[in-house]
Amino acid sequence: MKPTIYALPPRLSHSPYLRHLHEALADRYEIYDGSFGRAVVEMARKRDLCIFHIHLFDEIIQRPQWLWSWCRMIGFVALLMFLRWCGVHLIWTVHNLHPHTCWHADIAHKTVQHVIHQCDAVTCHHHVTRQQILDTYHIDIPITMIRHGHTEHPFGALLSRQYARIQLGLDQEIPVFVFLGMIRPYKGIDTVIAAMAKIPQAHLIIAGLPHDKQYLSLLHRQTAHMANVSIKPYFLPDQEAALYLAACDALVLPYRAITTSGMLVNAQAAGIVCVVPDLPALAEQVTDGVNGFVYQAGSIDALATTLTRMMNHPQRDTIGIHAQQQVRADTWDQVARQFHLVYMRFFDVTAH
């Protein structure tokens, strides 16, 4: 009988991460895809033939009311303790070390502390994240670094820049920057808008589903009198996202804080030039002038200067090729093999 993987959450509506990972693991493991309540019952029954693979839990815990958040944390940790008592193997992949929407930092810290101490293993995507966990939480369980995976063509085959711009009605001559992804405050989109006020000869397209309507309203007010910024506030299917990426000179990801960026990995895999702040995880992945462009985090002037530098770089398309070469080995099959090695620590799955 194959061991069963129960993921939390079972699926991600706006990210292909779990779908691709589970497809790559399906030869060796059963993948549960039902409700969370039923998953708990099944795990308690199957016991040591189960892996509870935690990916994201922040939105389960964090609520505006402190007491309600605290109670939800206690309930979640109690559930993990129960599952561990049952013999279920617990693993956390650290996509976010800190909540994207953090109402209560003390509860966030305590939650991570308790989750880590209930887990049999922890994985993360960057060496710097691994070190941060060790320095902050002083744990003695294994932490394995497994890169974020990607497909060979994350957004499908990209059109030429010229044809993509014809499809989108964009001028062939002007520099075009794109932000692609869910519109949320921690992504710092307002900072790149402010930088665009210093680069009137370029155009910025912001495309993605708004998670926070108040933040979207702020962006609309900020761009009300800016002719060189366009906002497309809706979820983009892969085909449309591919058009914007093919049309742009660079993808701008102006995060305020981040542990992992799946968008960065997929854009690099597609050969797109990326501009990112010098946050530790991003700086580990992007070397300025080699496989992307890096600016001082939080500085609008530095971002504007870096965008201008990118526009004038004589070999910027070569930089996209270097980025693609760097992540080429991190396919989903390779990522699945690495997770398989982690799972093998808990039971003999070598025959599967």
Residues 6 or more apart from 132 whose CB is under 8 A from it?
97, 280
Domain span including residue 236: 161-327
Which residue shows structure tokens 């108040």?
Answer: 214
Task: List, in order, residues 6 or more apart from 286 with CB less than 8 Å away.
Answer: 264, 274, 276, 292, 293, 294, 323
Same domain, 131 and 175: no
- Within 13 A of 331's CA, how many CA atoms are on the CB side? 9
Residues 135 and 170 in one domain: no
Q: Which residues of 101-127 are buried (b: 16+ CB within 10 A; e: fewer)?
A: eeebeebbebbbebbbebbbbbbbbbe
**86 lies in the same domain as 193:** no
Per-residue pLDDT of the chain (352 residues; tens, 9 = 90+): 789 999 999 888 778 899 999 999 999 999 999 999 999 999 999 888 899 999 999 989 999 999 999 999 999 999 999 999 999 999 999 999 999 999 999 999 999 999 999 999 999 999 999 999 999 998 888 899 999 999 878 888 889 999 999 999 999 999 999 999 999 999 999 999 999 999 999 999 999 999 989 999 999 999 999 999 999 999 888 889 999 999 999 999 999 999 999 999 999 999 999 999 999 999 999 999 999 999 999 999 999 999 999 999 988 889 999 999 999 999 999 999 999 999 998 876 443 4
Does a structural domain hold residue 348?
A: no
Count of structural domains, the chain: 2
Domain presence at residue 108: yes
Same domain as 289, residue 171: yes
Give the pairing of strands 4-8 and 50-54: parallel
Co-location of 262 and 274 in the same domain = yes
**Is the residue at 93 inside a domain?**
yes
Residues 187 and 137 in one domain: no
Q: What is the pTM of this model?
A: 0.92
Q: Are 19 and 36 part of one and the same domain?
A: yes
- Do 249 and 337 reside in the same domain of the chain? no
Look at residue 348 in the predicted model and tell me its pLDDT.
60
Q: Kindly state whether residues 110 and 177 are assigned to the same domain.
A: no
The CATH code of the domain that includes 279 is 3.40.50.2000
Instruction: Give yes or no: residues 137 and 171 share one domain.
Output: no
CB 164 within 8 A of CB 247: yes
